[in-house]
A = this chain, B = another copy of it.
Amino acid sequence: MRNLMGIFMPLITLTTDFGTSSPYVAAMKGVILSICPHAQLVDLGHDLPPQDVVHAAYFLADAIPYFPERTIHVCVVDPGVGTDRALLLAEARRQFVLAPDNGVLTFVLEKLDRSASIRTLTESKFWRCDRSNTFHGRDILAPVAGHLALDTPAEMFGPTTAEWKRIDEPRPAIQDRCVEGSIVLVDGFGNLISNITATMLPKPPIRIQMGDHANVPFVDTYAEALPGTLVALIGSEGRLEIALVDGNAAAFVRAGVGSALVVAGA
């Protein structure tokens, strides 16, 4: 993040479930830029399903690893705002992630660094003086992101902790050359993305069952099947997904997060 003249322009990304018809994202941006006016703000997404921590956890895991060192990520999917849940600052592979302690860091830290340093935000001198009970994204996480971008050392914001919440992710059951998993994410195209990774698959996968569809063909790319065909393939993050060629699989199969997906080998 140094440009050609050696000037540092810190990157701060924002991920929320606020939508953009309400002024919440805007207020957070104002708070950050008031502290660090030369920060480069990058929107990752603000249309995450409201208060869906598991979706947000997958989102971060599929996005953050692509960013450069020193990026500061702020995630506000925070159904527990106003409770005594902590707010965390994680440092993993030289990136920072600020988020509530509700499990949203589970998958990204599994990918980046299982021994990441996690701190609890306790130093209120970096927070907004005038704090609400309902919007810690604006009043605590945004100003901490701004101060981090000004190179305040991470240890100034609070002590490390070994206790932080993990999501108890449903793992696929594997036995007798059969894998039983489930859909964990539905993307904007209606693709049904499962928790079955490429390495878990029996080789060759003989029979793939998704809902009433008992024998979904396994393909390498969408292009191998005709429009309107339901197919199974390995998606861009290495997980088995069900897609409808040129269509919306979620609507076609009437399936969603939690639906079962079964793969049998020979």
Contact = CB atoms under 8 A, between A and B. Distances in A.
Nearest to A52: B21
B37 A2 contact: yes
Contacts of A257: none
Judged by DSSP, the binding face of A is loop
Nearest to A135: B236
Contact of A7 (B4, B21, B236): B4
A81 interface: yes
A252 interface: no
Contact of A189 (B50, B82, B139): B50
Contact of A63 (B26, B65, B80): B26
B4 A68 contact: no
B81 A222 contact: yes
Contacts of A8: 3-4
Contacts of A47: 19-21
Nearest to A189: B50
A220 B82 CA distance: 8
Interface of A: 1-5, 7-9, 11, 13, 15, 17-27, 29-31, 33-34, 37-38, 40-51, 55, 58-60, 62-68, 71, 79-84, 132-135, 138-139, 185, 187-189, 220-223, 233-236, 246, 248
